[in-house]
Amino acid sequence: MPGEQNYRKTEQAYPEGGCWGWLSVVGLAITIFFTRGSTVAQGVFFIAFIDYFNESAAKTSWILALMGSLTWMTSVVSAAFAKKYGPRKVATVGAAVLFLSLLISQFSTQIWQIGRASCRERV
């Protein structure tokens, strides 16, 4: 028929990640779970922080505001580092910082200590 084009199917080659590819997927899923999960669940944390630390709602809300704002502010810096050093190295360092900050915040006895750990978590 006139105007009909013959298209030849071409196979697309996808890179094989193997075991390292699946480990990257699992690591990313865990990181997103903790970073986005803690940001989305701020309402649950808010009540728990007020009860546990026996602080005012105003003081406690600053901690949660830091958690949310630092997530977005540090994304620009992380993107620049990823462009310079590569995403794998930046993600590895970020996961280690996230792990350490969550571990440190476990031992908090005052509300400001959660804020400091939250700042480390987001950077």
Instruction: Output the pLDDT for position 97.
Output: 84
Q: For the chain, what is the mean pLDDT?
A: 79
Instruction: Output the pLDDT for position 82.
Output: 92
User: Scanning the structure block, which residue is given the tokens 């970073």?
Assistant: 35
Q: Are 27 and 95 in contact (CB under 8 A)?
A: yes
pLDDT digits (tens, 9 = 90+) for 7-60: 555 666 656 777 888 888 888 888 788 777 777 888 888 888 888 888 888 888
Work out whether the CA dihedral 22, 27, 33, 39 comes out positive or negative: negative
DSSP for residue 110: S
Whole-prediction pTM: 0.61
